[in-house]
Amino acid sequence: MEKTLWQLNQLVEERQDELLELVKNLVRFQTPSPPARNTEEAQQFIEQFLKEHDFNTDVWDVYPGDPNVVGTWKGEDPETHQSLIINGHMDVAEVDEENESWKYGPFEPVAADGRLYGRGTADMKGGLAGALFAVKLLQEQGIRLPGDLIFQSVIGEEVGEAGTLECCKRGYSADLAVVVDTSDLNIQGQGGVITGWITVKSPQTYHDATRRNMIHAGGGVKGASAIEKMTKIIEGLQELEKHWAVTKSYPGFPAGMNTINPAVIEGGRHAAFVADECRLWITVHFYPDEDHDMVAKEVEDHIRRVADADPWLRENPPLFEWGGTSMIEDRGEIFPSLDIEENGKGTKVLQTAHQDIFGQKAPISMSPTVTDGGWLGDAGIPTLIYGPGDLQNAHAVNESVSIDQLVQFTKVMISLIYNWCSTEREED
């Protein structure tokens, strides 16, 4: 088999143009999210590809116009051999062509200077295409896998709609999952993210002409601007963020990665009113040894103490809403964290596959961003993030990926798929 894998690696080199054309085909499908609800045609392409390569497919709408596709290549002896999920998302970051200076059209992919340009090349249609091409070459050589291979092309990752969570709810599981998202070919875990809304609301409304009665001695009006009171909440969040930076840490993360970002603020009616309501949308990043409920409670407890120190906020305490299933539908999201076992079976097999191609083990690190890997890990599946592309290009104008990295990634996927799915499960 070693000779066959070497021959397959040679085929990846010889058929590089075919690999690039597969990436280009995916990039040409315009699937930015937002606005979303636009992946159906692209997912039909994936479904057809999987069907042509002996996968049983399962397609269902997560949202109208945004279906998940899961294909299963049934193994010859799945009861005794290890199974593998390969996971990636079809949606890409939003594009504003009128106000962004794209060298090439974002959905008109171009290969130039050793790179492939286009929206989604780095995040993460390059990873999807490389894994699909690996499957194609394995099957062309007549290779049959003893264990099951499950390919998941999901929707919604860019806006927290968690197509991957829906796969888990549908019962898909495996002995190992690899999310082929942007990692610059590092093997990665990640921290987690939860968004929340903090609302300050007055029980009454006031004409702006009564403001002097609120702010001067003897004015007689015990009222306040919700916008001004929200500034105290923001200061409190900054204090907590600084406290976390010196009291919390986690291996693989630089200090202070657990941030609290005041992302969006909304408040007031119009200039003739004292602002009676203000809402703040925050993003909280946390470490793999924490969960979203834990950090949300920490934020709430701290901000309630801040409110208790203010006479008006003490009587009109801030309200909290956490999480959500979509940044579009309900303006909220959750991404669970993902820890990885450096000495785990899956990590070792992926490191060996990487070393066979690069002559050295893949770096192990923690991603500074989040992926769907957290949902798979949360479902009890040992999960690793490993894909082509880097975060400097993800979401960027003139997004691109190294062609050489795409080629090498595809070789690693061939080795990983074959070796993992050909290994017998160990007795418990």
Q: Give the catalytic positions in this structure.
A: 91, 157
- Cα separation, 51 vs 53, in Å, equals 5
Reported as type and span, the H/E element at residue 195 is: strand 192-201
Place of tokens 């923001």: 234
138, 73 in Cβ contact below 8 A?
no
Identify the bridge partners of residue 218 per DSSP, sorted by sequence position: none
Beta bridge partners of 266: 279
Q: How far apart are the first and last CA of the chain?
A: 28
Other CB atoms within 10 Å distance of the CB of residue 426: 7
In degrees and rounded to multiples of 5, residue 311 shows phi and psi of: -55, -40
Task: For residue 63, give every residue at least 6 positions away whose Cβ sits within 8 Å of its Cβ, in sequence order, or none.
Answer: 36, 37, 155, 156, 161, 329
The Cα–Cα gap between 254 and 250 comes to: 8
Rounded to 10 degrees, what is the CA torsion of 7, 8, 10, 13?
A: 170
Residue 16 has phi, psi (to 5 degrees) of -55, -40
Distance CA(110)–CA(139), nearest Å, equals 28
C-alpha angle with apex 107: 105 to 112, nearest 5 degrees? 60
3-state SS assignment for residue 414: helix
Alpha carbon distance 153, 86 (integer Å) = 9
Return the residue matching tokens 């793999």: 288
The structure tokens 């961003």 sit at 369
Per-residue tokens: 241: 């963020």
Q: What gap in Å lies between CA 375 and CA 378, rounded to an integer?
A: 5
For residue 16, count CB atoms less than 10 angstroms from its CB and return exposed for 0-12, middle for 13-18, buried for 19 or more. middle
